[in-house]
Structure formats: C-alpha cells, structure tokens
Amino acid sequence: MRRVAFQGIHGANSEIALLRMPGLRCRTLPCETFEEVFTAVETGKASHGIIPIENSLAGSIHQNYDLLLSHALPIVGETRLRIEHALVAPRGTTMRRIRSVRSHPQALAQCSDFFRAHRALRPVPYFDTAGAAASVAGEKQGDTAAIASTYAARLYRLAILRRNIENAENNVTRFLVLARTPWRARKGVRTKTSIVFSPLRNEVGILFRILGVFALRGIDLVKIESRPNPRTTFSYLFYCDLAGDPSDVRVARAIEHLREMVSLFRILGVYPRSV
Amino acid sequence: MRRVAFQGIHGANSEIALLRMPGLRCRTLPCETFEEVFTAVETGKASHGIIPIENSLAGSIHQNYDLLLSHALPIVGETRLRIEHALVAPRGTTMRRIRSVRSHPQALAQCSDFFRAHRALRPVPYFDTAGAAASVAGEKQGDTAAIASTYAARLYRLAILRRNIENAENNVTRFLVLARTPWRARKGVRTKTSIVFSPLRNEVGILFRILGVFALRGIDLVKIESRPNPRTTFSYLFYCDLAGDPSDVRVARAIEHLREMVSLFRILGVYPRSV
C-alpha cells in the first residue's frame, strides 16, 4: 500500500486533505518539517508526499516552491481542503468550565469573533492545531480546550463543543502530491502542468512576450505569480500552471518556444486537474 | 507629528520597518488586528497605517489585499525589512541556565538549526516575537529566553545572547504605508502604481491581452499575481505593480484600455518606488 509523508502530527490538515482524496487508500507518515517530507520520498521511506502550496487567505507558500526547485520530485496530483475550526475538549468538559483555549496563533486569530463573544476564554498559542488537540487530550483539569479540526478531535477522542467557530468563510488550502516518478497521463483525463521559469532579461514587456507563447497557441493559464528570485538580486521567478500537458504538441512547442526566453526553466509536474 | 498605526505591540516588525524608513519622524500606535489599523486611519486616530503585504518565504498576504479592497485607503509608500532573529533574555541570564525559548511558531521554525545545535533548549510557542520579548522581561526565574528582534530586546531592556540565529538568509518582508489622502507625485521621483483587477471573462489568452495594454505602451510590470477571487467562484483577481503613474499619459491610457476588459478595477495607490 502507498505510504504518504506529510508535515505535522496525525490529524494535521495535510493528512486530512490526503485521506479525503477520492479513491486513495494509503498509510500516512508524519514528518517534522517540509524538508523531511521530501527526504522521506527520496529515500523510499514513503512512496508519496503531500505539501500545502497556497491558501486563500495567506497566499502561496514560497518556501515549498523553493523545496520543489531544490529537490527533483515531480508533482503527481493536487487537492483542496476547506479549513474548518472546531472547539474541542476532553469528554465531560463543559463549555462553562473552560478557561483557556490552545491552538496555532493563526487559528486563534481566525476565531477572533468567537473569542470576542466568549470573553472568559483565554487564547493560548501552540505549535499547530492537531498538536493542540493531542495535548489537551492528556489534561485532567477539565478547563482547557483546543481549536482544531473535527478529524483531530475524533483521532484524540475529544468531544466537539462547537463547530465552525472561524470568522472567515473562505479559508481553503491547496495541496500538491509528490512522488519519485512522474504521473503517467491517461486519455480522457484533464491535465495541468506546473512550471517555473526566470526570464532571460528583465526587460519591459518580457512577460507579455512569454505569455504570448501560450496565448497565441490557445493554451489556458490557470495560475501565474511573479516573485523576486531569492537566489539572485534583480531577477524574478514565475510560477505558472497551464491547462494541458506536453503530450499535446501545442503545449510541447510552447515550452520549446518559452525556453528561448528564459534562463531558468523547470517542469514541476504534470498531473490530473482536480481543482 | 504623524502617528502611524501598526498591528502588534511595540517592537513588532511593522514598527521597526516604519522607524527605519528614511527621513520619517513619527509616533506609532499599536493595534490588535490589521482591520484595526485600517479603522485607526479612517477615523483619524492615526494619520497613517503600515501593513505587511508580502514575505520572501511566506508569499503575499492575501488577507491584507482583501482589506485594501474592502477599505478605501490609498497606498502612499512602501518599504522592506530583512527579518532577523536574536536570542534575548533578561540581563544576567546566562546561556547555560536557559531551558525554554518563547516565540511565534514561525520564528521558532525559522531557527530550527539553532535548536538542533542546542538540544537542552525547549521551544515554546507564543503569539508574536515582540510579545515573547515583553513577556520574558517580566520573568524572574532566569531560565526563559525569547526569539525576537534586537530592537525588541532594547525596548524591553533585554540582553542579546545570540544574533542571527535564523536558518534562512533571505527572510524579507515588504510593507505598505496607507493614508487617508493619496500621495502627491513630485517631479523626478520614480513612482509605482499598484492596481487590482478581475478579467471580464475567464477566456484563454485574456491575461495576454491585458498585459498587452502595458507591454505595447512600454510600461514595465514590477509584480503580477493571480489569485482565485474569494468572493466569486471561477473568477480571478490579479494584483499588479506598474512602474510609473497615471500622470504619464501612456499609463493613463493603458488603464483606460484595461478597463474595457475587466469587471473589477481599483488603483490601490501611487507612491514613490523604493524597493
């Protein structure tokens, strides 16, 4: 069976996203850092890895794009997860007895309306939401809760006191699945290709000319993002997701054409388009 | 004198970025949330506000782009700050006696090499780096340190035990300065214009045609980023920074031309280009 590495402890959002992917049966391997997720796949400790790549509130995670560039693992899939926060506590804990609520500072901030409505509850920072759930499971005082997913609550045998206590409705994270070998395109499956490149010269209109290689061939760009290249000053990295893949001759030729205009170029992966 | 609102407590990175802006003399107003920074400027409690907008490791902060869209405060300036982490503790604390180190989980993670080299130190999560510095200042045991800026250390009268304990070299945050009234362009000052738009239709090549309005007029794009529009499904928001401003007839005409192709359009601000 597949074994998929993810960052965090059991119950982390990466693991939930993974287990909800349709038709996927796998075991999961918790890792301390994203770097370790890559290493686990490279060394064969895991067959696949899953990493978050962008969030609807917090944006693209450049750090993970950097890891995709410094390692050679192809993207073979993608998935999305709506992030939901629940108030969870050991069974028997009543809402009235709770004094402190543990979670990641970002999760605490995303539930600020809840805290404003419940002044008696003191937010306490923790490393991550799943870890907060695991940690309150071991507490006996009965006055500590955590903000975590309902999945983490079930995993650590906690009661769910309140669901969806988050302020924002639209907290969605997109994840990428990595493997050692590329995904093999199948007929009839809609595909996406993720590429990264750095224009050869930083001149006016260069991006327009680069997009032309796709637009003039009728290829759809699903995502584009520029970012100052962290390795060299005064150059930019571009992340692009294209509809389709190089088995389509138009895409293959567009990529050949693109290579004439860029100093750095990498196909990060070709995979079924699911989001 | 100007009074500038920022999110966090005194010693936060936003405040440091602000105080290092050349030629700027101001007082600062700490706010609990980014939303409050906007409100402080709108209601006149502050003349200006400063918000982080992108980080070299963590990416663009979509949440703050959303606040720029839901409020009407123009961007009037920008600045960058290299984020540096120091190990700080009450004076008299020795390295050998420290047992726990308090900071934001992200700062703790950014110093993971330091913790690997100092196994006796236990990382403890906190809301933010400046808050961690302020909190250890009040402790008497002498076994607790914080990871924070050297600026926060001076502010809370802490000793700096180690400088630059961060793993990554390239942790830079870009900040925007907001005001109630737009910045007035002056001759000889290089400018930048930040815009946001959503294409009228989601059709192949639309972005190419949109970039054409700038490229074919010789206008340089400094930044471009696409993002699924959080308010409507199947549409995209684009953030662009252009070199120049609408007092240049080419820029003014390009913007008129752009409006023909977009459903949503806003100039977020015109300001001196400093990064």
- The secondary structure of A172-183 as a DSSP string is EEEEEEEESSPP
Which of A125, A170, A214 lies at the smallest CB-CB distance from B127? A125
Residue B185, both tokens: 């362009």
The contacts of residue B255 (CB under 8 Å, 6+ apart) are B195, B246, B267
**Per-residue tens of pLDDT for chain B, all 275 residues:** 799 999 999 999 999 999 999 877 899 999 999 999 999 999 999 999 999 998 888 788 888 999 999 999 999 999 999 999 999 999 999 999 999 999 999 899 899 999 999 999 999 999 999 999 999 998 878 899 999 999 999 999 999 999 999 987 788 999 999 999 999 878 889 999 999 999 987 788 888 999 999 999 999 988 888 887 777 666 788 999 999 999 999 999 999 999 999 999 999 999 999 86
User: What is the DSSP secondary structure assignment for residue B163, as one 8-state letter?
Assistant: S
Is B175 assigned a catalytic role? Answer: yes
The boundaries of every CATH 3.30.70.260 domain in chain A are 191-272
Domain with CATH 3.40.190.10 in chain B: 2-81+171-179, 86-162
Q: Return the CATH fold of B86-162.
A: D-Maltodextrin-Binding Protein; domain 2 (3.40.190)
Shortest Cα–Cα distance, B226 to chain A (Å): 6
B273 contact partners, CB below 8 Å, separation of at least 6: B78, B190, B191, B192, B222, B243
Chain B residue with minimum CA distance to A241: B226
ipTM, 2 dp: 0.78
CATH 3.40.190.10 range(s) for chain A read 2-82+171-179, 86-162
| Catalytic one of B79, B129, B144, B173 | B173
**pTM of the entire predicted model:** 0.86
Q: What is the chain B residue with the closest CA to A213? A: B208
Question: Which residues of A belong to the active site?
Answer: 173, 175
- Amino acid identity at A88: V
User: What pLDDT does residue A234 have?
Assistant: 62
Say which CATH architecture domain A191-272 belongs to. Answer: 2-Layer Sandwich (3.30)
Chain B interface mutation, best of A147, A210, A221, highest count of B Cβ atoms under 10 Å: A221
How many angstroms separate the Cα of B263 from the Cα of each of B69, B95, B195, B239, B252?
14, 59, 13, 14, 18
CATH code of domain A2-82+171-179: 3.40.190.10
Mean pLDDT of chain A: 92
For the segment A96-106, the average pLDDT, to the nearest whole number, is 94
Residue of B110, B173, B225 to mutate, interface with A, max A Cβ within 10 Å: B225
- Of the partner residues A59, A128, A170, the one whose CB lies closest to the CB of residue B59: A59
Provide the 8-state DSSP code for B44.
T
Please name every residue paired with A266 in a beta bridge, in sequence order, or none if there are none. A196
Query: What is the count of residue pairs from A and B with beta carbons less than 8 Å apart?
Result: 111
